[in-house]
């Protein structure tokens, strides 16, 4: 027998019941993460469209910008795991939560560190190669516009926006799932 909660009542569960619950929670957490990513990109599209006063369709699939969708999905993953584990394991968390936290820290640090610096380098390289022949740029792997993508990383405010967005989706999603 395993100790876990089932239907909000703390009671022993069989291995089969535990595996079914784990399977169900995994699917719910994946769906919450995908929903948070989708909603974040929609918000990014609306925010950028209002800011630029024209439809910014590129924002639906782009990296960079406000809020950080990488951060949003990481925070949704961490908090969803945390809430469901507390609920299902009688106030405990397991090692998978630690893995999710480390994954989120690395991803968020990378967005604000390495990817932000790569954005700065792309801007400088685009300026330096503005006079370079197109054939040479193609050879070096430049895109169709003959520029390197400049918007890769995130500023602190964009990451903070992603954190807030992820918290909202995780909390609301958790309560909706429990209510179903």
- Model pLDDT for residues 37-47, shown as the tens digit of each residue: 999 999 989 88
Output the pTM of the full model.
Answer: 0.78
**What is the widest separation between alpha-carbon atoms in the chain?**
71
Burial class from Cβ neighbours inside 10 Å (0-12, 13-18, 19+) for residue 35 reads: middle
Query: What is the C-alpha separation between 21 and 127, in angstroms, rounded?
Result: 55
What pLDDT score was predicted for residue 24? 86
Helix (H) / strand (E) containing 9: strand 9-13
pLDDT in tens, 128-146: 777 778 777 777 777 667 7
**Whether the predicted pLDDT of 74 surpasses 80:** yes
Q: What are the tens digits of pLDDT across the range 13-66?
A: 787 877 787 788 899 999 999 999 999 999 989 888 888 898 888 778 877 778
């Amino acid at each position: 027998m395993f100790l876990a909660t089932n239907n909000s009542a703390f009671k022993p569960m069989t291995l089969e019941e535990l595996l079914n619950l784990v399977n169900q929670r995994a699917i719910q957490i994946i769906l919450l993460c995908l929903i948070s990513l989708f909603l974040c990109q929609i918000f990014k599209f609306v925010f950028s469209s209002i800011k630029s006063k024209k439809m910014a369709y590129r924002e639906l699939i782009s990296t960079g910008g406000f809020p950080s969708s990488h951060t949003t999905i990481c925070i949704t993953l961490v908090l969803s795991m945390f809430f469901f584990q507390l609920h299902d394991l009688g106030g405990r968390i397991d090692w998978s939560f630690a893995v999710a936290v480390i994954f989120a820290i690395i991803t968020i640090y990378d967005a604000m560190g390495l990817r932000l610096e790569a954005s700065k380098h792309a801007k400088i390289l685009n300026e330096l190669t503005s006079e370079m022949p197109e054939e040479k740029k193609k050879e070096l792997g430049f895109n169709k516009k003959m520029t390197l993508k400049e918007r890769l990383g995130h500023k602190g405010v964009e990451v903070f926006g992603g954190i807030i967005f992820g918290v909202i989706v995780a909390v609301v999603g958790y309560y909706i799932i429990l209510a179903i």
